[in-house]
Structure 1
Amino acid sequence: MVKTMQWQGKSLTLLDQTKLPLEITTILCHDYRRVGEAIKRLEVRGAPAIGAAAAFAMVLGWQELMDACPKATATTLLPAFEKTKAELIATRPTAVNLAWAVEKIYTLALTLPEESAAAVALTLETLANQIYEDDINVNKRIGINGAALLPKKAKVLTHCNAGALATCGWGTALGVVRQAFVDGKLAMVYADETRPLLQGARLTAWELEEDGIPVTLITDNMAAWTMQTQQLDAVIVGADRIAANGDTANKIGTYGVALAAKHHRIPFYIAAPISTFDFSLADGGHIPIEERDAMEVKQLQGVVTAPQQAKVFNPAFDVTPSDLITGIITEYGVLSAPYVENIKKLQNKLQEED
């Protein structure tokens, strides 16, 4: 299983996902700005992965501030560190894991004003590494919880890429797929190609092929017909932000897949870690939706496919209402309706653990 990122103490190496599947190349990031650029460009992508990458970027940011002001105390570095935090959060607005990880690192720095700047750097690095390792462990628990929902010889449809490439390893939606495969109960994964950037075709199909997991690639507009003709057992997708009522933002096209699944009476599951929940938002109407460059729609890997003057609407995400979601698979178990009540119980449990 290829690594999404690797921390080297003074730099972060990222797998360049914009080059897959044709090239396996990496990007060496020596400062937080380059990590932020990689997040914007989708060189690193997937809510959990960009959260972990941003955590390491915060460490690089603190190291940069120390190098610029060798005699500075931790307290004097905090105002500039807050600006680093704001820059990273602004790179992509929809995935809440990004802000969650960055705030976690920044909040820890706030609790250490009496420490030396060097001591704070080591503590922040330890937390970033913990966020990375925790994500892999969380994904494996999500996989176990999700695989238990599937029948033998399961046929599953997924959208976009919520696998090892979108996380620190194993995956969320594809973590469920991987566990089902390990358990000997997976017959086939149908992967939507996921226009306009083809994360399903370039990443999901490649990732599953690399691991020997059976996969059939389909175009996005084949999903409903595939549901009708291929006897699917479940749809499993990832998430970039989940509101307090269960409404879920995920890669554009997910909402349509959920509607088709509802019509065909196929269970539709979200697989996501607790860090993807935004308890502060009452519903999906408050989730910010990133809109991206029109050229992503008007060309395909450099080949022009539309009139250059054509107007384009290019939201990167859509929101699936909770009444279309059969269950939300987390490391704590599977949440089901009533979502407001059950998500609140989960929030209370997390607060008790803290």
Structure 2
Amino acid sequence: MDRKDKDLAFMLRYENIAWYEDGKVKILDRRIYPKEIKFVECVDYKDVKQAITDMVTQSAGPYTAAGMGMALAAYQCKDMKLEEQINYLKNASEVISHARPTTVNRMKMITSSCADVGIEALKKGNSAIKAIFQRTIDSLERRYGRMSEVAVNLVNLFPKKGKIMTQCFGETIVGCMGREIKRQNKEIEFYCPETRPYLQGARLTASVLKNQGFKVTVITDNMPAWTIKEKKIDIFTSAADTICMDGNIVNKVGTMQIAICAKHFGIPYFVTGIPDEGKYLENIVIEERDSKEVISCNGIRNTLEGVEGYYPAFDITPPEFVSAVVTDQGIYSPYNLKEYFKTEVEQYY
């Protein structure tokens, strides 16, 4: 099979995201990549859930890990009676999908579908493990394929030669965007805010784009406004953890402030992804992570004992700061996202 991760960076290859094999799931530890290439091994689906919670994998990585975790759950219950296996898979689906509160809606789509195909296989006397594993690979192929279409629409908006600012790590769109820039023969360089405290921009986005042959400059999280002005940035773009139907964009904390700066300096902010049908601002729960993650970085504490931290993992950018939402089906205003669903849309996750 000519897979859709062809020509993408190391960490975007399917096996290097999360992979089930022989009763184990291995997940690339993105908390330390690229300084060190290390995989966390999970022998229980609850280990996979915990790895997602602990941010061993981030961005779209948890979606792959969730599917592989469901294959592991099927392995764990393979010697049980049929009804026990069915209940086991349903319970695993619920547990894994709630690994992080802000993305439960998307995760539930994945784990529920995995449970469904696994249960269907069991009722036919087939392997639930193989069915769920194949469903996860099919999901990856579908997601990479559709994000490749998003990338075409996004890169069409880029100048022939220009400077792009990103935020956090958009996973699939970052790699597909880079591949499409090469295909369109455009000369683009990137500025990546570091994205503390896990430094996904510095370690992950910058690594992928560098691996794919681009000039990349990392800046600290308090530099975007000045950088937009002084370096004459042309476009700000990010993926989104949730694209609400009312145009509100949930993404890694820091996105809103860059969007505000982009509007102030007159450059567009293009959000990439698939709108989340049925999701609105009032449905959003912003995950607040352990404050210890803020007062330390790379395992080194930066404050005196007793100093407190505050870590909302995401923020919400209102639609007035969003120039367009770039999807696989075209480019939409944040105010008319319902148009996206006027044609039948294949399940993305």
Q: Same fold (TM over 0.5)?
A: yes
Quote the offset at 1:144 in angstroms: 1.3
Does residue 130 of structure 1 match 2:138? yes
> Which residue is equivalent to 2:6?
none
The one-letter code sitting in structure 1 at the alignment partner of 2:338 is: K
Q: 1:331 aligns with which of 328, 332, 340?
A: 328
| CA distance in 2 between partners of 1:140 and 1:352 (Å) | 15
Quote the offset at 1:52 in angstroms: 1.7
- Where does structure 1 lack aligned partners over 5 or more consecutive residues? 164-170
Cα–Cα, structure 1 residues 353 and 50, in superposed 2: closer, same or farther, change >3 Å? closer
The one-letter code sitting in structure 1 at the alignment partner of 2:311 is: N
Quote the offset at 1:263 in angstroms: 0.8
Quote the offset at 1:109 in angstroms: 4.3
Does residue 49 of structure 1 match 2:61? yes
| CA distance in 1 between partners of 2:97 and 2:116 (Å) | 14
User: SS state of the match for residue 310, structure 1?
Assistant: coil
Q: Confirm or deny: 8 A CA contact 2:73 2:88 kept in the other structure.
A: no
Alignment of structure 1 residues 332-351 onto 2, 5 Å? 332-339=329-336, 343-350=337-344
Q: Deviations over 1:130-188 (max 9, x none)?
A: 1122222222222112111111112100011113xxxxxxx214532442244221331
User: SS state of the match for residue 56, structure 2?
Assistant: coil
State percent identity of aligned pairs.
28
> Which residue is equivalent to 2:4?
none
Cα–Cα, structure 1 residues 254 and 337, in superposed 2: closer, same or farther, change >3 Å? closer
Q: Confirm or deny: 8 A CA contact 1:244 1:280 kept in the other structure.
A: yes
| CA distance in 2 between partners of 1:83 and 1:226 (Å) | 48
TM-score by length of 1: 0.87
> Which residue is equivalent to 1:176?
177
| CA distance in 1 between partners of 2:313 and 2:346 (Å) | 35
| CA distance in 1 between partners of 2:264 and 2:187 (Å) | 23
* Equivalences, count: 334
Cα–Cα, structure 1 residues 126 and 174, in superposed 2: closer, same or farther, change >3 Å? closer
| Higher mean C-alpha deviation, range 254-263 or range 81-90 | 81-90
Does residue 103 of structure 1 match 2:112? yes
Q: 2:150 aligns with which of 139, 142, 148?
A: 142
> Which residue is equivalent to 2:24?
11
| CA distance in 2 between partners of 1:201 and 1:331 (Å) | 27
Q: Deviations over 1:261-281 (max 9, x none)?
A: 111111101112x3xx33222
Quote the offset at 1:245 in angstroms: 1.4
Cα–Cα, structure 1 residues 208 and 351, in superposed 2: closer, same or farther, change >3 Å? closer
Q: Confirm or deny: 8 A CA contact 1:270 1:325 kept in the other structure.
A: yes
Q: Confirm or deny: 8 A CA contact 1:156 1:235 kept in the other structure.
A: yes
Cα–Cα, structure 1 residues 353 and 82, in superposed 2: closer, same or farther, change >3 Å? closer
- Where does structure 2 lack aligned partners over 5 or more consecutive residues? 1-8, 11-15
> Which residue is equivalent to 1:186?
187
> Which residue is equivalent to 2:285?
288
| CA distance in 1 between partners of 2:335 and 2:99 (Å) | 34
Quote the offset at 1:9 in angstroms: 5.6
RMSD, aligned α-carbons: 2.2
Q: Deviations over 1:296-320 (max 9, x none)?
A: 1111112111223123221100111
| CA distance in 2 between partners of 1:133 and 1:331 (Å) | 14
Cα–Cα, structure 1 residues 286 and 308, in superposed 2: closer, same or farther, change >3 Å? farther
| CA distance in 2 between partners of 1:210 and 1:21 (Å) | 11
> Which residue is equivalent to 2:5?
none
| Higher mean C-alpha deviation, range 98-107 or range 215-224 | 98-107
Quote the offset at 1:199 in angstroms: 1.0
| CA distance in 1 between partners of 2:272 and 2:193 (Å) | 17
> Which residue is equivalent to 1:27?
40
Cα–Cα, structure 1 residues 329 and 351, in superposed 2: closer, same or farther, change >3 Å? closer
Cα–Cα, structure 1 residues 311 and 112, in superposed 2: closer, same or farther, change >3 Å? same
Does residue 305 of structure 1 match 2:302? yes
The one-letter code sitting in structure 2 at the alignment partner of 1:90 is: H
| CA distance in 2 between partners of 1:30 and 1:5 (Å) | 13
TM-score by length of 2: 0.88
| CA distance in 2 between partners of 1:308 and 1:228 (Å) | 38
| CA distance in 1 between partners of 2:136 and 2:162 (Å) | 36
| CA distance in 1 between partners of 2:288 and 2:106 (Å) | 18
User: SS state of the match for residue 220, structure 1?
Assistant: coil
Cα–Cα, structure 1 residues 7 and 333, in superposed 2: closer, same or farther, change >3 Å? farther
| CA distance in 2 between partners of 1:63 and 1:270 (Å) | 38
Quote the offset at 1:231 in angstroms: 1.7
Q: Confirm or deny: 8 A CA contact 2:98 2:107 kept in the other structure.
A: no
